[in-house]
Structure formats: structure tokens, C-alpha cells
Amino acid sequence: MLPVKYRIKKELLPLVLKQNKVFPSKYFNLRVHHRLSTEANYDKNPRLAVVIGNKVSPLSVGRHLIKRRIHAILEKVWLEVEGNLDLIIQVKENLEKTTFIDLEKDLLGLLKTAKVLK
């Protein structure tokens, strides 16, 4: 899991959701928000939020499994992510039965198309 300093707080989600660019893929929607110099956390670490709705997986066990997989993929490349970014990953469909390798390819490809990695 990523440390708390790399997570977007729930109160800041509406602000980040309004001002962003969306990058879609097969399994995810990636929303990227470049923080402005007037914002409080400018020139700090990049932050992340993973959003998984109840329609994706009705049981919380499944949602937590998906979230842990996404965090495990991002831990490998998190040091390469640019600063001053807020990333929101929205899951489109139930990924419990999808292999970890397919998820990793899709998510890393999405991060490269969004030019999030250094």
C-alpha cells in the first residue's frame, strides 16, 4: 500500500474531479489534475485516489482486492511519477477474475499515454 502522504483526502476529491483531463482505457479511467501554484499542496508529492463503485463489485471484499492490486502495480513505478499531480483511477468493470499481468499492462500503458511517468 502507498503511504498516507500519497493519497488524496476525501474532502479534496470534488475539486480534483472538476479540473482534470480524462484518459480512458479498457479497464480504467485515469483523471490527471496538475496542481496550480496557488493550491495548498503545490510542489509536493504526487497524490492518488482509487475509486471503485458498488456496481463494479457489490461486495467490499472484491473492491478491496481490486484496490490492493492497483496499489501493488503503482508501488513499482511511483518514484517515476511527476510531482504536482493528483491522479484518480476509476475502475470501469469487475476485475476480480482478470489476471494481474493484464491489469499491469493496461494501467502502465495508460500512465504512459497520459505522460505521467518521468
Can you spell out the DSSP letters for 4-61?
GGGB--GGGHHHHHHS-EEEE-SSEEEEEEEPPTTSTTTTS--EEEEE--TTT-SSHH
- How high is the pLDDT of residue 38? 66
Q: What is the mean pLDDT of the chain?
A: 87
How far apart CA 43 and CA 62 sit, in angstroms, is 35
Residue 11 domain-assigned?
yes
Residue 82 domain-assigned?
yes
Q: What is the percent of the chain where pLDDT is above 90?
A: 52
Question: Is 80 in contact with 114 (CB distance < 8 Å)?
Answer: no
Residue 115 domain-assigned?
no
Does 118 or 117 have the greater pLDDT score? 117
Residue-wise pLDDT tens digits, 29-71: 999 988 776 666 666 788 899 999 999 999 999 999 999 999 9
Q: Which residue has the cell 476529491?
A: 13
Residue 117 domain-assigned?
no
pTM to 2 decimal places: 0.87
How many independent structural domains does the chain possess? Answer: 1
Residue 25's domain comprises 4-109
What CATH number is associated with residue 29?
Answer: 3.30.230.10
Residue 118 domain-assigned?
no
- How high is the pLDDT of residue 20? 83
Q: Per-residue pLDDT for 22 more than 80?
A: yes
Of how many residues is the chain composed?
118
- How high is the pLDDT of residue 117? 85
